[in-house]
Structure 1
C-alpha cells in the first residue's frame, strides 16, 4: 500500500504543479451555452405540448404613402416565449366548466342561437399565473421605454411527459467512431475514446422548418481506458502506464438537471449536457508490479457541464454530426485506495484533487422518430 500511494502521490503532484495557469481561472463557455440553457416555453394542450407565444412592442419602418420615404413607427409583434430549460412547461390545473348545447333558429326572419337541453360539464386545463414586479418595455407616445411594473406571468415547472409519451417525438443520439475527450494535464496531453448512446424526446413532437429542442433524459457514455501517467521504469526502459483510467469509467446524464439540445433551422446544433462522471483508476505497484495485474480502485464521482456546438453538413444531415466543446477546467477527484471499480472509493483520505482541462470532439448520429 505504501508503495502504491507513494508512487501515485509523487506522479500526480508533479503533474499538478506543472498544470497551465488557465486552470486557475474560470474558462468562458462558448456561445452555445447561452442558446442551449434557454428553451421555448411549452404548455399542454390535450395530449400534446405546444409552444407558448407572447406579444411585445418593437420599432419598424413604414413607407409613407405616395413617397419613397419611410417613417419610424411602433408595432405590436408576436414571438415565442423563452424560459429556463429546467422548468420549461407552464403549470396547469384542471377545472370543470358549465357548457350548453345550442341550436340556430329563425325568429321574425332573424337567425339566433338558443340553448337546448340541460347544462353539462367539461374538464378544461388552465394555466397557473402569479404576479411579479419586473422591468418591461411599454409604449409611451412615440417611444418605447423600460419601466418596472406588476405583471401577471406564467408559473413554470419541469415537463411531466416522458420520451414514451405521445406528446413527444423520441430521439436517439449514438456516438460514432473517433469520438474523443482531449485531456490536458499541463505537462502532457491524452486522448480518451468515448462510446455510448443517449435518448430523449422533442416536446410537442417534431416541427418541420422550425427550431426543434431535444430533451435528453437518459443514457450512458463510457470513457475508454486511457494511460494517464506513463514511464519507462519497467525492465530497463519498457514504456508502460503507472496510472491509467479504470473500467468502467461512466459518464452519465445528471438526473437532477435538464440537458437540452437545439437543432436550429439554420443548421446550427447546440447542446448543454449536465453529467456525472464515475472515475475508477488502475495502479501499477511501483517497479514490482511490472508483470503483475494492475490494482483497481473504487470510483470517485464528480459533475461537469459540457457546452457543445456543431453545424449540419449538407449531404450528411444528422446521420454524421460533429459536435465540439471548448477547453474547460475539470476538477477531477482521484481515488488511490484499492477497491472494486464499480463501488465508491472506500477511503476518502486517499482521494486527491487532479485539475485538468478537458474538451470534446464528438461524431454523433441523431435519429429522430
Structure 2
C-alpha cells in the first residue's frame, strides 16, 4: 500500500477523532458556562492557580536562605486595666512575606563597610558620672550583603488613631529574582521525588479513554533547609518523567487481530520547563500541593496501515507541548512520605500530533495536526529528604 494512502487513512482517523474531541470540549465549556458562579468552577479559575504559585520570600544570610518577614497592623482585644471588659486596639505583628515562586529570592549586593570597635568608659557629663561607649583603634573594612530595594507607590494599611485604614503612598520594597539552583545542604536540603508503580496519566479523547503509565524522578531542594512542624517549600530543579508506550487507536484490521494503528513512542517524556520555577509545598498539617510547569515531548509510532501488520512501526518526530499541572494530596497515616498519592484535575491539553516519519529524538519536520485531549493524573510518589 502506498505511503500516500497510508497517510490519507491515518489523517482521516485523526480528523474524525478531532471532530469528536472538539465536540466534547465544546460541550464541557458550555456546561461550565451554564453553571456560572458555582463554587466548583470558581476553584478551577486562574485565581486558584495564582494562589498555588505563591511562596514564602527568601533572602540569603551568610550561606543560608532564610524567610523574609514583614510588619503589619491588626486588631486585637486587650483587657482594660482594673476592669473585666476588653477594648479593641490596633497592634503591630510580623508575618512571612509572600511572593511569586518564580522570583522568590530577594536580590542582594555586596558592599564594603567600615566597622569600629567600642569600649565603655566613665565620663563626667554635666557634673554627673555616666558610662558611655567610645570608639577605639582604627576601623576595619568588612564585606556585607545587603538587600536591593526599590520605591513604588502602592496601597498599604496604616494606623490612624485606633483604626486601620488604607492609604496610597510611596514605600520601599524588596526586589526579587529567581533563586539559584543548588543542592548545597548549607543553603537548602536536597529532595528527590520518585514515581512509584501505579502512576498514570488519564487521556480522555472523547470517544475513548487511555491510561499512560508514568515513571521517573524529579529532584530539587528546600530553600533554607528542612524545618520540623512547619510548612516546607520544595523547589524542583531537574528530572524527567517517562511516558510508557500507550495504544491510542486500536482496531482489528490485521486479520481480526486486535492491535494499535497509532501509539506513543517510548521515547516520549515530560520535562520541567527550565524557564519557570516549579514548586511544591509540604504543610505542617500534612497537606501537599504542587505547581509544575512542564514541556511534554511527544513522538508517535504509526502502523503502515493493513500492509504493516507484521512490520516495524514507523516513528515520527517529536512535538513539544507546554502544560502546567496543579497537584494536591495528603499524607496518609503510617505511610508518610514513603507513598504519597497526588492527583491533578482534568484539564484540556492541546496536542500537536506529528504524522511525518522521522527520528523520535528529532523535532517533527513535516505535517502535524491539532488533537485536543482532556488529561488528568494519578501519581504515587516517594519523597526523600536529605
Alpha-carbon contact 1:284-1:295 (below 8 Å) kept: yes
- Cα distance, 1:145 vs structure 2: 2.2
Moved more, 22-31 or 311-320: 22-31
Alpha-carbon contact 1:35-1:270 (below 8 Å) kept: no
* Matches of 2:160 and 2:233, distance apart in 1: 36
RMSD value over aligned CA atoms? Answer: 1.9
Alpha-carbon contact 1:29-1:307 (below 8 Å) kept: no
Q: TM-score, normalised by structure 2?
A: 0.90
* Matches of 2:360 and 2:5, distance apart in 1: 20
- Cα distance, 1:297 vs structure 2: 0.5
* Matches of 2:340 and 2:27, distance apart in 1: 29
Mind listing any 5+ residue stretches in structure 1 that lack a counterpart? none
1:363 aligns with 2:380: yes
Residue aligning to 2:7: 5
Moved more, 84-93 or 145-154: 145-154
* Matches of 1:224 and 1:23, distance apart in 2: 30
- Runs of 4+ more than 6 Å apart: none
Mind listing any 5+ residue stretches in structure 2 that lack a counterpart? 33-40
Change (3 A) 1:107 1:137: closer
Residue from 12, 19, 25 that aligns with 1:21 = 25
Residue from 288, 294, 303 that aligns with 1:284 = 303
- Cα distance, 1:239 vs structure 2: 1.0
Alpha-carbon contact 2:185-2:225 (below 8 Å) kept: no
Aligned residues: 366
1:167-316 superposed matches below 5 A = 167-235=187-255, 237-316=256-335
Residue from 59, 66, 72 that aligns with 1:43 = 59
Residue aligning to 1:128: 148
Alpha-carbon contact 2:181-2:237 (below 8 Å) kept: no
SS of the counterpart of 1:86? helix
Residue from 347, 351, 355 that aligns with 1:328 = 347
Any idea what the Cα deviations from partners look like across 1:171-197, whole Å, max 9, x if unmatched?
Answer: 000000100000000110000000000
Moved more, 115-124 or 268-277: 115-124
Alpha-carbon contact 1:98-1:119 (below 8 Å) kept: yes
* Matches of 2:330 and 2:108, distance apart in 1: 36
* Matches of 2:81 and 2:132, distance apart in 1: 43
- Cα distance, 1:80 vs structure 2: 0.3
